[in-house]
Structures are given as C-alpha cells and as structure tokens.
Chains A and B, each alone.
Chain A
Amino acid sequence: NAGVTQTPKFQVLKTGQSMTLQCAQDMNHNSMYWYRQDPGMGLRLIYYSASEGTTDKGEVPNGYNVSRLNKREFSLRLESAAPSQTSVYFCASSESSVTYEQYFGPGTRLTVT
C-alpha cells in the first residue's frame, strides 16, 4: 500500500516550457487535490476533484490545468511555466466521508528559471 505517489520529485523548467505532474493513490479514495506550498503562504488549493469525472477550481487555478484520468490518478499540467510557479506541489486524496481527512504525497519541488 503506497498511499499517494507523485512524480517527479524534482524538476527544473525554463520559462515557457510545459510539464505535467503526476499523482496516483491506491486507497480507493473518491476525492483528490492539488496544492502548492510557498514560504509564508501555507498551503493553497489549486484544483480539486470531488469524484471521478469532476474537477473544480481552488484558490489559485490560473496557469494550471488538471485531468482526473480515472479514480486513481489526478494530473496537474503547467502549459507555459512562469517563475511565479516555482513552488512545492502536493497531491492529496481523501475519502468522501464525514471527516474528509487528507492523505498527502511526498511533493514535487519545481523551479522555473
């Protein structure tokens, strides 16, 4: 049982390049999330997927797109990377139950130069 996995762990991009961050969970959770974490800003929600087949914007969706490929996988795409997107990105999943406790992946550290 691997929990939530993310690839890659580290990435360096040049401004304008594109990339996709991959996330998968093996806990049969319905809901999945993408966050970014910046110093002094806490966690900010980018997009979430309440269930397979649905996606919704979070607090900071601009510059990102997502795909809920199936129940297990939820990817985040940067179409044209900007230095402001330098951050640590976390994927999380949760059960669709009363408490919605979250399970996080190890993160992707992205630098855009």
Chain B
Amino acid sequence: GDSVTQMEGPVTLSEEAFLTINCTYTATGYPSLFWYVQYPGEGLQLLLKATKADDKGSNKGFEATYRKETTSFHLEKGSVQVSDSAVYFCALSEGGSYIPTFGRGTSLIVHP
C-alpha cells in the first residue's frame, strides 16, 4: 500500500536559518502530494501541493518539488521565523482513492 515517510523531529533552528524537512513516499500510481501545517492548538491546514512530476508547490516562502525519480517531496524555506514553529505533515492521495496517506509529522521549533 501507499506510505509516506518523514524525518523525525523535532527540528530545532534559529531564526533566519534554512529549513529542509525530508519526505519520501511509495505509491502504486501517480499521486498528488501535499504539505500540511498544524499550529499549536489548531487543525491541519494545507500549506502547498503538487499534482504531477516536476511541479513545484509554494506558499508563504515554503517550497517543495515533486521528484518522481527519487519519490520525494522535501519541504524547504530559505529563512525561517519563530512564527513557523509548528508540526508539518507530508501527505499523498491517489486518484480514485478517497483516503489520503499522511506521514507522522515533523515538529519544527524556531528560536529567536
């Protein structure tokens, strides 16, 4: 079956540092890929998505590129802020399936 593997956290960074959170997946077909963010005490919200190979999703300074050859969708941001402290979830969904597959989540802590 489908699966999503994320790097374990917490990831701890200083403000203005570069962020990478790794995500790899296994899927039988050609899934859509997502990053969701969960701020403390809130539900998940969609951060960005990519629907086909080589697509780049971007939002709020975050970027991720759909790499079919390495089955990866790593999340990056050039300069993190304290307000980016949250849990980040990588996910996929395949056409025809109503059920998405989520990674375990990676906690990001940004210090001033």
The interface of chain A, by Cβ under 8 A from chain B, is 4, 31, 40-43, 45, 48, 50, 58, 90, 92, 94, 96, 98-107
Interchain nearest-CB distance for A24 vs B (Å): 14
Interface size on B, residues (CB 8 A): 22
The main secondary structure of chain B at its interface with chain A is: loop
Assuming A99-B93, A100-B93, is B98 touching A106 (CB within 8 A)?
Answer: no
Given contacts A98-B32, A98-B95, A100-B98, contact A43 B43 (CB under 8 A): no
> Is B102 part of the binding interface, using a Cβ–Cβ cutoff of 8 Å?
yes
Q: Are B105 and A98 in contact (CB under 8 A)?
A: no
Whether B98 pairs with A48 at a CB distance below 8 angstroms is yes
Chain B residues in 8 Å Cβ range of A106 = 42-43
Minimal Cβ-Cβ distance residue in A for B95:
A98
Q: Is B74 an interface residue (CB 8 A)?
A: no
Which residues of B from 28 to 73 have beta carbons under 8 Å from A?
32, 34, 36, 42-46, 49, 51
Chain B hits for A90, CB < 8 A? 43-44
Cα separation A101 to B99 with both chains bound (whole Å): 10
Binary contact readout B68-112 vs A (1 if CB under 8 angstroms, 0 otherwise): 000000000000000000000101010101111011110000000
Measured between beta carbons, the chain B residues less than 8 angstroms from A92 are 43-44
Query: Smallest Cβ distance from B30 to chain A, in angstroms?
Result: 10
Closest beta carbon of chain B to A109's beta carbon, Å: 9
- 6 A–B contact pairs at CB < 8 A? A42-B102, A99-B49, A99-B51, A100-B93, A101-B32, A102-B91
